[in-house]
Copies of this chain bind each other. A is one copy, B any other.
Amino acid sequence: MAENMEHLEELHTWIRNGDVQALLEMSRALHPADAAERLAVLRPEELGRYIELLGTAQALDIFEFVPFEIQKETLKYLPRTILVELMSLMSPDDRADLVEELDEKSQERLLSLLMQAERQDILKLITYPEGSAGAYMTTDYAFLRADGTIRSALDQLRFQALKKETIYYVYVVNQARKLIGFVSLRELIMAHPDMDIAAVMNKNVISVRVDEDIENVAKEMTHYDFLAIPVVDADDRLVGIITYDDVFDVMTEEATEDMYLLANLDTDEKISSPLPRSVKLRVPWLLINLCTALLAAFTVNFFSGTIARYVALASLMPIVAGIGGNAGTQSLTVVVRALALGEIKVKGNWKVLFKQIGVGFFSGLICGMVMAGIAYAWFGNVWLSLILWMAMTTNLILAGLFGAMVPITLRKLKLDPALGSSIFVTMATDVGGFSTFLGLSSLLLHYLVE
């Protein structure tokens, strides 16, 4: 911490005094991602001044690693010429994402400053719906025509001077710009310079449509271990590529989303969300849960006469419901994860369902027997133990049934398999647990109370 404070003091001083030399040295000594982390604590006007001092070409690499929120604020403090320069140098997908974050007025002002080609490129990219391949792709890719030799291809690529890691696959298109193949940079290097591109290229090119769900794109890329995947429009024309680092982000977001939905959390919540926002995002879920908890309360209330006559039931009933809830969450989590990873075949639903029910049955038999023994030691009533055993076994069957059925059904309805699923499942195990345990107790009450 002390070290960071020192760095911050230094930075403040350098920027105040316009010490370009010191700023340049720091920027070169660090990886852009690390430099960005250090700069992210500056005020936006200071960050703006930093870009001015260093020049856009020098500052760009670092600026692209600064979080969007801070990028957005910084733009306001940049002189017009620097702003235009910076935007035209940024990689197309980052640029479009940034413009999308701006309010409408700033968007218009910014777009009016840019060149026709860049403006159109941004407008095209920001119109793709959130979560589609189009919204994640970059238009900064390397492509070639099929005619010509390897040597001419390499020369051409040298002059295309592409940024970043987007050059490692070079896509081959025909005259209508339709995607017909690809060559990896490695193959270009390895092949004899006089060979034809057509002879080296892989014709078996796998691409995704621009409107494809980005989660499916990530699945494709990890399935094939691709570094990048080409994105085509409805007419098979190459319009962009998605690279492995975008997949890193998508995988992280997807895992967070699933975990959040299983815990009944809004996906907009962050660890850094201000307290009122967190409360606002969580309370609706808790209130929905309150409704289902009320159902459980009504179930218990229905048997209040039985409880009044044998109050030990009140102590034992949370165990039946609680273990059921835990078993339900187990089945639910296994199934939700398997659906997310594409491990369940469309035709395999029944098998999954029966297995989870079976696991619930046998786990219920075992845990129920243990609990029956404990209850016998505690209350000394063999009928109470038998009722517990039966209720726990039944409830763990319900846990397996609902734990598998709820996410499978949600997916069939084209909803996220994790959405609200744990509320449904615990409702089933609460209501199921209370009603089997208290229901059996009511039926056999004369054995419990002499």
Contacts and interface: CB of A to CB of B under 8 A. Distances in A.
Interface in A294-318: 294, 296-298, 300-301, 304, 307-308, 311-312, 314-318
A330 to B, nearest CB: 5
A370 B319 contact: no
Nearest to A379: B301
B224 A31 contact: yes
Given A265-B334, A287-B367, A271 B343 contact: yes
A319 B430 CA distance: 10
Interface string A249-260: 101101110111
Contact of A275 (B287, B341, B359): B359
Contacts of A326: 264, 285-286, 289
A318 B344 CA distance: 35
A321 B319 CA distance: 12
A158 B259 contact: no
Interface string A195-229: 00000000010100000000000000111110100
Contacts of A270: 338, 343
A89 interface: no
Given A330-B265, A358-B275, A33 B225 contact: yes
Interface in A343-373: 343-344, 347, 352, 355, 358-359, 362-363, 366-367, 370-371
A327 B286 contact: yes
Given A259-B259, A271-B334, 14 more contacts: A165-B186, A165-B227, A247-B248, A251-B255, A256-B341, A263-B329, A275-B362, A283-B363, A286-B327, A293-B318, A296-B322, A300-B314, A300-B318, A304-B315
6 contacts: A283-B366, A289-B322, A289-B323, A290-B323, A290-B370, A296-B322
Interface of A: 1, 28-31, 33, 154, 157-158, 161-162, 165, 167-168, 184-186, 189-190, 204, 206, 221-225, 227, 244-245, 247-249, 251-252, 254-256, 258-260, 262-265, 269-272, 275-276, 278-279, 282-283, 285-287, 289-290, 293-294, 296-298, 300-301, 304, 307-308, 311-312, 314-319, 321-323, 325-327, 329-330, 332-338, 341, 343-344, 347, 352, 355, 358-359, 362-363, 366-367, 370-371, 374, 426, 430, 434
